[in-house]
Amino acid sequence: METVELPLPQPKPNEALVKLAAAGVNFIDVYHREGRYKVPLPFVLGQEGAGVVTAVGAEVRSIKTGDHVGWAALLGAYAEYDAVPADRLVPIPAGVTDQQAAAAMLQGMTAHYLCHDTYALKRGDTGLVHAAAGGVGLLLTQMAHNIGARVIATVSTEEKSKLARAAGADEIIFYTQSDFEAETKRLTGGKGVDVVYDSVGKTTFEKGLNILRPRGMMVLFGGTSGPVPPLDLIVLSQKGSLFVTRPTLGHYTITRDELMSRAGAVFGMIAAGKLKLRIEHIYPLAQAQQAHRDLEGRKTTGKLLLIP
Amino acid sequence: MKAIRVQHTGGPEVMELAEMPTPQPKATEALVKVAVAGVNSIDSQFRDGRLRTPLPFIPGQEGAGVVTAIGSQAKTVKVGDRVAWSGTLGSYAEYVAAAEAHLVPVPQSVNDEQAAAAMMHGLTAHYLVHDAHKLKPGETALIHAAAGGVGLMVVQLAHAIGARVIGTVSSDEKGELAREAGADAVIVFTKQDFEPEVKRLTGGKGVNVVYDGVGKATFEKNLNVMRPRGMLVLFGMSSGPVPPVDPAKLSDKGSLYMARTTLAHFTATREELIARTSALFEMIAQGRLNVRIAKKYPLADAAQAHRDMEARKMAGKLLLIP
């Protein structure tokens, strides 16, 4: 990653040119950079940003110059300007800053679909959240807590446990010190949890199936420890007629309506003070390399932003 | 009493009619005179050893009949009650001793044949459309083997909910049965590839849910005919087990859900068992759920019943009459 001078993008008829106030740093950026996810070279990194519209294409009606907007899941946000399809831009309401918007688009909408749609948590449900002090984890814990669910959180350190507790976790498991399978069984009186939200993958998946109640749901939404090996489906019936899904944000923001309502719900929670964003570090755009090093070092417990 | 005995596992021929001692009910059991015993694919799996049980044994998991004696601590049933059950090995017999927790009362308006057929197939269909994936009016469901025992029930229940039902069947004749049960569209999979046909029928969108008791033969294509966030409910594997699945496939194909379900987890409590059977019996009594009896066999012809079931020629429920 290097900072260079590039031509200003020109918005196509359906696009808007946005001057970025902040770009979010995400693990998917690392995968793009490494080539694990393929993108034609050369390219501008970044999947998430927020800023002000400075020009619109001829066909754009939904937004206008001067609007504050956020977006996610489109490449090109590590830049001063980005041309973005207007139907992927979400207006940022009063009460939410551009930096907050940039920090919440991917992880906030991910947490939202996980607990409202993939498995719609209800008051009284019990959910296990792995990596609860991570970016999505802290947001998911807050949302699950606000719904009235009981949250069992796995974390690696004392410092992270404090963050998870502050986010509303009812129980904390230090997975580095105790076996989360045995501990979750104990905490649920042997019953198991209704849902497991797992972004860790390889190292946690198998045990996750053992702590689900009959007819419980395994939501695998990432694989930071590596991919989960192929699954013998008979295991699902043997362990209690279990459900498994592997969701991605794109399928939960397919229509403009869904994108708007999901982003709107997240912004609404932020503006109302019900969802606290933890912006841990803000880097100048030129320090994108350092931001990636910090993210990959797994020392971070909150959102990293780049400011052009 | 007369019963079917299996002394060693194998093909249908290992089932022989034998004179065996009438079982004695234990404290929380009841002795039931079997009026009809249901034939299910799980019986084949016990018979050929895919599912294990100590030998010798009497096959059969389900039936309906009348209580003739009760154990000292049985409280929920009494002599003379008409009852139905599933999950009780030993039902291919004149008498079976069943745990009282497995016995459900059968109302007068439902006959023994209907009651027996409503147990495994009916209960399975009920949990599929109401719990495994709670079908809503306007949703589209694909049901494989739609003229089979479970299939015909799923089609009727899904139709009653107001869902659009696409059924796959092996012959035109079975297609007609599926249509009569309420299928909106039928695909004869021996003539047409179901994948492009489901896509065509749904305008490229795909279905909300696939109910699949077939397994290996249909699995991969199922993943291609579901809309994003669709649900695949695998409740049987009549064509063989599905090879292990890479979870990444579920996200690639549209953040899909997958479940592998068994009836026991959907009738785990007495309340749930009674609620489901009551709902089914009420629909049967009101004529809103039609139980199709494919064929009735004398108990001695159990082997032939298994042959017919395994040949997949039958549409509906096979019953043995002791």
Classify residue A110: in a domain, yes or no.
no
pLDDT at B138: 97
Between residues A271 and B51, the one the model is more confident about: A271
**Smallest Cβ distance to A227: which of B131, B248, B259?**
B248
Average pLDDT across chain B, whole number = 96
Q: Hey, is the C-beta of A236 within 8 angstroms of any chain B C-beta?
A: yes
Q: Structural domain tally of chain A?
A: 2
pLDDT at B239: 85
Q: Is the pLDDT of residue A129 over 80?
A: yes
Q: Is the pLDDT of residue B314 over 90?
A: no
Classify residue A167: in a domain, yes or no.
yes
Which amino acid makes up residue A140?
Answer: L
Contact present, A147 and A140 (Cβ < 8 Å): no
Do both A133 and A100 map to the same domain? no
Residue B133 DSSP SS3: coil
Average pLDDT across chain A, whole number = 96
Lowest-pLDDT range of A90-94, A114-118, B159-163, B237-241 = B237-241
pLDDT at A292: 96
In which band, very low, low, confident or very high, does the pLDDT at A298 lie, cut at 50, 70 and 90?
Answer: confident
Token readout for A267 is: 């912004």
Chosen for mutation from A28, A37, A246, A254 (greatest number of chain B CBs closer than 10 Å) is A246
Classify residue A1: in a domain, yes or no.
no
Taking a contact as any Cβ pair under 8 Å apart, which residues of chain B between 49 and 108 contact chain A?
Answer: none
pLDDT at A300: 78
SS3 per-residue string spanning chain A? CCCCCCCCCCCCCCEEEEEEEEEEECHHHHHHHHCCCCCCCCCCCCCEEEEEEEEECCCCCCCCCCCEEEEECCCCCCCCEEEEEHHHCEECCCCCCHHHHHHHHHHHHHHHHHHHHHCCCCCCCEEEECCCCCHHHHHHHHHHHHHCCEEEEEECCHHHHHHHHHHCCCEEEECCCCCHHHHHHHHCCCCCEEEEEECCCCCCHHHHHHCEEEEEEEEECCCCCCCCCCECCHHHHHCCCCEEECCCHHHHCCCHHHHHHHHHHHHHHHHCCCCCCCEEEEEEHHHHHHHHHHHHCCCCCCEEEEEC
Q: Select from A193, A215, A246 the last residue of a domain.
A: A246
Contact flag A231-B245 (C-beta cutoff 8 Å): yes
**Smallest Cβ distance to A240: which of B248, B257, B265?**
B265
**Smallest Cβ distance to A233: which of B245, B248, B265?**
B245
Do both A228 and A258 map to the same domain? no
CATH topology of domain B137-260: Rossmann fold (3.40.50)
Q: Is the pLDDT of residue B313 over 90?
A: no
pLDDT at B65: 98
Contact present, B97 and B31 (Cβ < 8 Å): yes
What average pLDDT score do residues A130-145 get?
95
CA A228 to chain B, closest CA, distance in angstroms equals 7
Q: Is A226 left (phi over 0), alpha (psi -120 to 50) or beta?
A: left
CATH number of the domain that residue A303 is part of: 3.90.180.10
CATH number of the domain that residue A177 is part of: 3.40.50.720
Classify residue A286: in a domain, yes or no.
yes
What average pLDDT score do residues B86-99 get?
96
Return the CATH superfamily for domain B2-118+282-321: Medium-chain alcohol dehydrogenases, catalytic domain (3.90.180.10)
Contact flag A230-B254 (C-beta cutoff 8 Å): no
- Token look-up 């069943």 returns B98
Q: Which of A293, A306, A303, A275 is nearest to A133 (CA)?
A: A303
pLDDT at B122: 96
Classify residue A263: in a domain, yes or no.
yes
pLDDT at A299: 75
Q: Select from A205, A229, A246 the last residue of a domain.
A: A246
Domain boundaries, chain B: 2-118+282-321, 137-260
CA A217 to chain B, closest CA, distance in angstroms equals 9
Token readout for B142 is: 């694909």
In which band, very low, low, confident or very high, does the pLDDT at A99 lie, cut at 50, 70 and 90?
Answer: very high
Contact flag B256-A215 (C-beta cutoff 8 Å): no
Q: Is the pLDDT of residue B273 over 90?
A: yes
Contact flag B260-A248 (C-beta cutoff 8 Å): no
CA A68 to chain B, closest CA, distance in angstroms equals 30
Q: B138: burial class by Cβ within 10 Å (0-12, 13-18, 19+)?
A: exposed
Contact flag B262-A246 (C-beta cutoff 8 Å): no
Residue B130 DSSP SS3: helix
Contact present, A151 and A171 (Cβ < 8 Å): yes
CA A205 to chain B, closest CA, distance in angstroms equals 11
Do both A129 and A146 map to the same domain? yes
Contact present, A216 and A193 (Cβ < 8 Å): yes
**Does residue A42 have a cis bond before it (omega within 30 degrees)?**
yes
Other C-beta atoms lying within 10 Å of the C-beta of residue A123: 8
Domain of A70, in residue numbers: 15-105+254-307
* Length reported for chain A: 308
Contact flag A246-B260 (C-beta cutoff 8 Å): no
CA A53 to chain B, closest CA, distance in angstroms equals 32
Do both A91 and A30 map to the same domain? yes
What average pLDDT score do residues A213-235 get?
94
Do both A70 and A137 map to the same domain? no
Classify residue A96: in a domain, yes or no.
yes
Residues of B in contact with A232 (CB under 8 A): 244
Residues of A in contact with B245 (CB under 8 A): 230-231, 233
- How distant, in Å, are the alpha carbons of A242, A247, B81, B229 from that of B252? 21, 9, 54, 11
Provide ipTM, 2 decimals: 0.91
pLDDT at A53: 98
pLDDT at A113: 98
What average pLDDT score do residues B145-174 get?
96
In which band, very low, low, confident or very high, does the pLDDT at A259 lie, cut at 50, 70 and 90?
Answer: very high
Do both A234 and A184 map to the same domain? yes
pLDDT-above-90 percentage for chain B: 93
Q: Is the pLDDT of residue A88 over 80?
A: yes
Residues of B in contact with A244 (CB under 8 A): 247, 250, 257-259
Q: Note the pLDDT tens digit of each residue in B104-151.
A: 999 999 999 999 988 999 999 999 999 999 999 999 999 999 999 899
Do both A158 and A100 map to the same domain? no
Question: Angle formed by the axes of helices A27-34 and A288-296, to 10°?
Answer: 110
